[in-house]
Structure 1
Amino acid sequence: MQITAGLRERKKAETRQAVHEAALRLTAEHGLEHVTVEAIADAANISRRTFSNYFASKEDALLYGDEQRIRLLVERIRTRPAEESAWRALHGAVRDSYGELGGPEREWAIRARLAKRHPSLLARQLASHANLERELAQVIAERGDHGDHGTATRPRVMAAAFLVAMRIATHMWTDEQESRPLVEIMDDVLDEMARPFDTDPPTHRS
């Protein structure tokens, strides 16, 4: 039973990833406004009905990879050393997940450029980040070092600042035509954003 359930979940994950990749490829080739859900479903070798079982819209399919990366970050934050400040844990989790997944794939740059060009996609991305912001804030609050007498203010502000820093770094990276490693730009932006949250010295410099 457990093996069967595990295979079923893996198959679902593979289908979801295939739909995401098809959506990204078609949108990069033809533009968001010229790509339909039916075309994405055809490219992923599934039916329109099956598409709806996985994603509510083509925007959801396009942003799936972005959301998965951030959810991986949430899990990595939970495994960071307890003695780290919350911001150091956030920064360390970025480097952990970057190392695990390797350098940013081409789709990362494609997603960033598409979001900048298409208001509907950017709006969907911001809505997704609002949900993820709450998850991040919860993880930050669980670390117990937010320093504001147990209120939820500082974890929420820190989570929002972290996501803004990630977005700024990605936009800088694409604006620079990926001339520098994304992780290097992330380090710079996160260090700059850290000033109100963290007095520890940066740990990534050699």
Structure 2
Amino acid sequence: MSQGAEDRIGLRERKKRATRVTLSQATIRLCIEHGWGKVTVEDIATAADVSVRTFRNYFSSKAEAIAAGHLERMLRIADELRARPAAEPLWDSLTHAVLAQFAPADAPDRQAAHDRRWSEGLRLMLAEPALQGEVVKANAAAQDALAEAVAARTGTDAAHDVYPKLVAAVVSAGSAVAVEHCLKAESPSPLAPVLTEVFERLAAGLPVP
């Protein structure tokens, strides 16, 4: 997250969000590596170096913890959008904000991200019925947060205007399509170029190829 975005969030809230991210990432990693049914809350707490009580203070279940990862990422995209230069075209700002969270340029090369077993484990995890309902709820909250940022950027009203809600929904759908495309690719496919292509097409109005 950029410094400008961080300045808009209080220290206490940043710490809470950081803990949520840590717990969510630990849950995702363990469920992918060991399988949904073999991972307990105790396992997650141990991996995140917190107590089970701390986990329960943040999440009611593994599914909620995993879905929170998506919500937190979209909240950071909203933060990044607010921090982008005011004169920058909206879709350029959105592209930068999405890439910063899904495929940051300074991120280390993670072999797991290109490992076929990891991708298969991720697909299996996302297919869990218990997770799907939580993802729907998290996605709704994520789109609301992003719509607020879009509204602030464009001078529209997130509560009454269609435009910010539509943009938020399109950003969410476009990001999901890019991730799914990479997960289902026959050979390892870097996410950044696919995300860039998706948002270039969206910015151009989705012309027929």
In which range does the TM-score fall when normalised by the shorter chain? 0.7 to 0.9
Name the CA distance, whole Å, in 1 between partners of 2:29 and 2:170.
Answer: 31
Asked if 1:60 corresponds to 2:69, the answer is no
1:102 and 2:98 equivalent? Answer: no
In terms of Rg, which structure is larger?
Answer: 1
In structure 2, the residue matched to 1:202 is none
Matched residue, 1:161 = 170
Alignment deviations for residues 120-147 of structure 1 (CA, whole Å, 9 cap, x no partner)? 223312211110101111111112266x
Distance change (3 Å), C-alpha of 1:107 and 1:38: farther
**Contact 1:26/1:40, CA 8 A, preserved across alignment:** yes
Matched residue pairs, number?
A: 191
Write the distance in 1 (CA, Å) between the matches of 2:24 and 2:105: 20
Task: Say if 2:40 is the partner of 1:40.
Answer: no
Q: Which amino acid aligns with 1:50?
A: T
CA change 1:141–1:103 in 2 (3 A) is farther
Higher relative contact order (CA 8 A, sep 6+): 2
Of 121, 126, 135, which aligns to 2:131?
Answer: 121
Distance 1:89 1:120, change over 3 A: same
Compute the RMSD of aligned alpha carbons: 3.5
Which consecutive residues of structure 1, in runs of 5 or more, have no partner in the other structure? 198-206
**Where has structure 1 moved over 6 Å in runs of 4 or more?**
8-11
Match of 2:23 among 19, 44, 48: 19
Q: Where do 1:1-12 residues align within 5 Å?
A: none
1:81-100 maps to which residues of 2 (within 5 A)? 81-97=85-101, 98-99=103-104
1:90, distance to aligned residue in structure 2 (A):
0.9
Which of 180, 184, 195 in structure 2 is aligned with 1:186? Answer: 195
Q: TM-score, normalized by length of structure 1?
A: 0.74
In the aligned structure 1, how far is the partner of 2:201 from the partner of 2:108?
22
Q: 1:15 to 1:75 in 2, by over 3 A?
A: closer
- In 1, distance between residues paired with 2:180 and 2:74? 16
1:17 CA displacement: 4.5
Check the 8 A contact 1:112/1:170 in 2, yes or no. no
The alpha-carbon deviation at position 51 of structure 1 amounts to 1.6
CA–CA separation in structure 2 for the residues paired with 1:180 and 1:78: 30
The yes-or-no answer on 1:130 pairing with 2:122 is: no
Identity of aligned residues (%): 32
Letter in 1 for 2:104: G
Partner of 1:142: 152
| Paired AA for residue 159 in structure 1 | A
Q: Kindly tell me: are residues 152 and 9 of structure 1, through their superposed partners in 2, closer, same or farther at Cα, counting changes over 3 Å?
A: closer
Q: 1:10 to 1:175 in 2, by over 3 A?
A: same
Query: 1:115 and 1:196, CA in 2 relative to 1: closer, same or farther beyond 3 A?
Result: farther
Unpaired runs of 5+ residues, structure 2, are 1-9
Give yes or no for contact 2:78–2:145 (8 Å, CA) kept in 1.
Answer: yes
Rounded to whole Å, the distance in 1 between the matches of 2:98 and 2:47 is 32
Matches of 1:157 and 1:85, distance apart in 2: 17
